[in-house]
Structure 1
Amino acid sequence: MEKIRKFIDKPIIKVLSGMRRAGKSTILLLIKDEVLNHVPDKNKIYLNFESIEFFTVNKAEALIEYLKPLIKDLTGKIYFFFDEIQFVENWEQVINGLRVDLDCDIYLTGSNSGLLSGDLASLLAGRYVEFEIQPFSFGEFIRCFDGKAVSREDLFSAFVKTGGMPFLKYFNLEEGPSFKYLNDVYNTVLVKDVLQYNSIRDVDIFNRILDYAMENIGHTFSANSIKNYFKNENRNVSADTVLNYLEYCSKAFIIKTVPRYDTAGKKVLKIDEKYYLTDHGFRQARGFSNTKDIERVLENIVYIELRSRGYEVTIGKVKDKEIDFIAKSENDVSYYQVAYNIGNESTREREFGVYKSIKDNFPKYVLSLDSMDFSQDGIIHKNLIDFLLEYGE
């Protein structure tokens, strides 16, 4: 909200993007009803295109006809709030027309990043700003349960399993209803924002590709490795199909593609990328154990946390070794290694040793769930839960 406030009443379109059910509509209504509470209600026009009321307002012409009587006699600035705008065909032309013809401030939400490509980019280049709405971080998750007699460690264990989709608050940490809800959201996102949106017919292959990516979060793999995996099961799937399906999932904000950065050559590598989930709770809901694969899930949590803090994040390649994350923001750079436990000396040597080849003076961290401080040689060791809770203090 603090980031968005800086753009309110500025002549630039505000686009709230992100996975379905991550909280975009709630933030849109907060802007409408609380931040802009001084504006007369008639000057605030809110349309939710998931509502039955707007099922027939699904083309640009229909949207224009719907809006005409609402804006005809209005004086003063008009505020438009369009929720899930991607359901309207050629919507970008309407938005551009409103921007040109009226004294207005426009807010949009959408659940597919294809929203910001093609015609929109051409029509509105330089005239919009995007905010990706993430599921709850652990800091936000823990505040949902203020007043409950539950330790932060137990809350973190729950967070590792269920993730941070906001609606989980209403299930009071009960795993059964939480996973049922996550499964339903997952299937809705797949059907509406991936399968239907991209006209995918081979649903079985698609599900198997996404399941492979979910099972292997934090592992380096290529489209060819998935292709070979299917070949061993006597299924022919091209590398292009794999890449296209993963790209569709990325555009629906289900997964994040993380490139590798060569610290020696100072360049981003487009091979052997890693994939993480926008919300790791879907992984457990799909039948993969987050506690069994705790190291990779902790990586996923840290990656999303860094993204939520506004960092551009890559994986670091240091000769034949790898740094989990390099986080950059303007002139700020920091390095992160993530581990479950570094009580063992050989594990500490591995996690700290990767930094020996990095000669700059930017902060270098090792994050783990250990309570003892193992900092050494200028490399900072932090308890992972402390790290997740420190932002915004």
Structure 2
Amino acid sequence: GNGINVTPNTVQKWISYLENAYIIDEVPRYSKKAKKELEQSRKIYDSDVSMNSIRCKDNRFDLTHNMENIVYNELVYRGFTITVFDNNGKEIDFLAEKGGQRTYVQVAYSVVEEKTWKREFGAFSGIPVYDRKVIITNDDMDYSTSAVEHIRLIDFLQNESGI
């Protein structure tokens, strides 16, 4: 192929260089089923969201990934400890913890389509009632349910005191 031959160890070393330069953050994934951090499947977020366009293949711009990256950066800025949460095979973008409070956060560009709504809201299935569950989108319509709070991205970014 056209790729270069490198070992996983070399890739991990490069990732650590980028982390040490504050260019990226490597976020651990926590498994509900295994009740432990999964070492092999971490997610990477850019400190500068504009860097996402460099990683795009075929000039495809992924708005949802950029939104997810923006929300990640803002949560870190607000002092949350972040992990990606594997809820029995359904990924929840962020488990944000601060001051003993846990908030599960999903990010989607839109949940207007029923298939997307079911996937995004369904990821919260089985999460304890007492933990806060939030979905952040660009949708103007309020999709909140009795269990999940819907917040527009612009409202999230303008309200520094909360999530």
- Fold similarity call, TM over 0.5: yes
In structure 1, the residue matched to 2:46 is 277
CA distance in 1, matches of 2:3, 2:78: 44
1:325 is paired with a residue whose SS is strand
| 2:28 pairs with 1:259 | yes
Cα 1:241–1:351 shift into 2, 3 Å = same
Aligned-residue Cα RMSD (Å) equals 2.0
Shift of residue 387, structure 1, vs aligned partner: 0.7
Quick one: percent identity of the two aligned structures?
Answer: 37
1:302 is paired with a residue whose SS is helix
Shift of residue 314, structure 1, vs aligned partner: 0.4
CA distance in 1, matches of 2:3, 2:124: 43
Shift of residue 378, structure 1, vs aligned partner: 1.8
CA distance in 1, matches of 2:42, 2:29: 6
In structure 2, the residue matched to 1:156 is none
Cα 1:287–1:332 shift into 2, 3 Å = closer
In structure 2, the residue matched to 1:243 is 12
CA distance in 1, matches of 2:153, 2:118: 18
Shift of residue 240, structure 1, vs aligned partner: 1.0
Shift of residue 366, structure 1, vs aligned partner: 0.8
Shift of residue 354, structure 1, vs aligned partner: 1.1
CA distance in 1, matches of 2:161, 2:85: 26
Shift of residue 244, structure 1, vs aligned partner: 0.3
In structure 1, the residue matched to 2:145 is 376
Instruction: Give 1:274-353 correspondences, 5 Å limit.
Output: 274-284=43-53, 286=54, 288=56, 292-353=61-122
Normalised by the length of structure 1, the TM-score is 0.39
Amino acid paired to 2:95: I
Cα 1:357–1:294 shift into 2, 3 Å = same
Note if contact 2:143-2:150 (Cα within 8 Å) is conserved in structure 1: yes
CA distance in 2, matches of 1:291, 1:303: 21
In structure 1, the residue matched to 2:156 is 387
**How many residue pairs get matched?**
161
Shift of residue 360, structure 1, vs aligned partner: 4.1
In structure 2, the residue matched to 1:86 is none
1:326 is paired with a residue whose SS is strand
Whose strand proportion is higher, 1 or 2?
2
Contiguous gaps of at least 5 residues in structure 2: none
CA distance in 1, matches of 2:161, 2:4: 49
Cα 1:249–1:318 shift into 2, 3 Å = same
Shift of residue 310, structure 1, vs aligned partner: 0.3
Amino acid paired to 1:310: G
Note if contact 2:28-2:38 (Cα within 8 Å) is conserved in structure 1: yes
Shift of residue 330, structure 1, vs aligned partner: 2.9
In structure 2, the residue matched to 1:133 is none
Cα 1:308–1:343 shift into 2, 3 Å = same
CA distance in 1, matches of 2:71, 2:113: 22
2:25 is paired with a residue whose SS is strand
Shift of residue 375, structure 1, vs aligned partner: 0.6
Note if contact 2:129-2:147 (Cα within 8 Å) is conserved in structure 1: no
Structure of greater Rg: 1
Shift of residue 281, structure 1, vs aligned partner: 1.6
Amino acid paired to 2:136: L
Contiguous gaps of at least 5 residues in structure 1: 1-231
Cα 1:261–1:234 shift into 2, 3 Å = closer
CA distance in 1, matches of 2:154, 2:46: 19
